[in-house]
């Protein structure tokens, strides 16, 4: 029985990789061509990314249950702040955000076949070892927000590989929110790290839950409000995780 379960697990991983690759290639023109035509057409790219996420979810028996979608105002640019435990978080992001979004992504993701090429167009890339790269990335994200496009930042800075529910938060996302006076939308993704742990090729079917809290306004805030704002977002995210 153990040998059979091991074989089925390996076959499932192969199936997931096949689904990922085939449908990424199939939808690739619809994802990339609008990106190359400019921001006005980026929403078309995200419709294809959402279609890919729906296909990936359905065929791999990994449903995403989303709670709090009504807290997203259509047409509002947000700073989405989320925990991060797995690559399975990415399809969930495609299903949550109604319009366009740019993700702050580490340069290492560019090495992933096909997905890395899409990330280079749909994200703002940062070299975490370079302070200059961090500064340019923050400036780019602020410019994206001013154009009415939402951004997504993982305030922990990387995938959580610890036993803690959340790692310490960095200030970057909160600085951007205050400088642009745009609202923050806290959210959490639950169970993704169990289905596909960081730094592994293990993956199994199961349900992933995404919870979204009401937006937190930042109008009138200054840099002095960053510690309190960071504590508030962290508290709300911990509450959603513990629910």
**pLDDT value, residue 212:** 97
In a domain, 206, yes or no: yes
**pLDDT above 90: percentage of residues in the chain:** 58
The count of structural domains within the chain is: 1
Q: For residue 77, tell me if it sits in a domain.
A: yes
Examine residue 155 and state whether it is found in any structural domain, yes or no: yes
Buried (b) or exposed (e) across 159-185, using 16+ Cβ within 10 A? bbeeeeebbebbebbbebbbbbebbbb
Q: Which residues contact 237 (CB under 8 A, 6 or more apart)?
A: 81, 83, 166, 186, 187, 188, 213
Q: Does any domain span residue 224? A: yes
Query: Is 51 inside a domain boundary?
Result: no
Lowest mean pLDDT among 73-82, 132-141, 165-174: 132-141
At residue 74 the predicted structure's pLDDT band, cuts being 50, 70 and 90, is confident
Residue 84: DSSP 8-state: -
How far apart (Å, rounded) are the C-alpha atoms in residues 160 and 85?
Answer: 5
**Can you count the helices (H) and strands (E) in the chain?**
8, 7
pLDDT interval class at 163 (50, 70, 90): confident
Domain assignment present for 109: yes
Note the pLDDT tens digit of each residue in 5-17.
888 899 999 999 9
Is pLDDT above 80 for 109? no
Instruction: Compute, in degrees rounded to 10, the torsion defined by CA atoms 39, 36, 153, 63.
Output: 100
- Which H or E element spans position 92? helix 89-96
Predicted pLDDT of residue 114: 65
Evaluated on CA atoms 167, 169, 170, 172, the torsion sign reads positive
pLDDT value for 195: 96
| pLDDT at position 204 | 94
Tell me whether residue 215 is in a domain.
yes
pLDDT at 133: 73
Tens-place pLDDT, residues 195-241: 999 878 889 999 999 999 999 999 999 999 999 999 999 999 999 99
Range 125-153 average pLDDT = 80
How much is the pLDDT for 190?
96
153 vs 132, which has greater pLDDT?
Answer: 153
Question: If you write DSSP's letter for every residue of 98-132 in order, what string do you get?
Answer: SS-EEEEEEGGGGGSTTHHHHHHHHEEEE-TT-HH
Query: Among the listed ranges 73-77, 104-108, 135-139, 191-195, which one has the minimum average pLDDT value?
Result: 104-108
DSSP 157: S
Residue 128 has pLDDT above 70, yes or no: no
Average pLDDT, the chain: 89
Q: Evaluate whether residue 50 is within a structural domain.
A: no
* 111/205: higher pLDDT: 205
State which residues form the domain around 115.
62-242
What is the largest distance, in Å, between two alpha-carbon atoms of the chain?
62
Instruction: Say if residue 141 is exposed, middle or buried (CB neighbours under 10 Å; 0-12, 13-18, 19+).
Output: buried
Q: What is the CATH number of the domain that holds 169?
A: 3.40.1130.10
pLDDT band for position 27 (cuts 50, 70, 90): very high
Contact 29, 45 (CB under 8 A): no
Residue 181 has pLDDT above 80, yes or no: yes
């Amino acid at each position: 029985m153990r040998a059979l379960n091991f074989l089925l697990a390996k076959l499932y991983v192969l199936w997931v990789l096949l689904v990922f690759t085939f449908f990424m290639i199939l939808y690739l023109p619809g994802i990339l061509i609008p990106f190359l035509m400019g921001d006005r057409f980026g929403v078309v790219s995200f419709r294809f990314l959402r279609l890919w996420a729906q296909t990936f979810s359905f065929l791999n028996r990994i449903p995403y249950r989303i709670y709090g979608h009504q807290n997203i105002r259509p047409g509002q640019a947000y700073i989405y702040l989320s925990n991060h435990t797995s690559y399975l978080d990415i399809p969930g992001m495609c299903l949550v955000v109604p319009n366009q979004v740019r993700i702050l992504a580490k340069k290492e993701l560019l090495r992933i076949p096909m997905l890395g090429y899409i990330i280079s167009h749909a994200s703002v890339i940062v070299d975490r070892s370079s302070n200059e790269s961090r500064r340019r990335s923050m400036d780019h994200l602020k410019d994206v927000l001013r154009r009415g496009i939402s951004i997504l930042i993982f305030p922990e800075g990387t995938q959580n590989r610890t036993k803690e529910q959340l790692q310490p938060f960095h200030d970057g996302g909160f600085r951007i929110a205050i400088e642009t006076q745009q609202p923050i939308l806290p959210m959490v993704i639950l169970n993704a790290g169990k289905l596909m742990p960081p730094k592994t090729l293990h993956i199994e079917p199961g349900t992933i839950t995404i919870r979204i809290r009401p937006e937190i306004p930042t109008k009138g805030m200054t840099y002095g409000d960053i510690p309190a704002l960071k504590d508030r977002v962290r508290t709300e995210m911990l509450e959603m995780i513990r629910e």
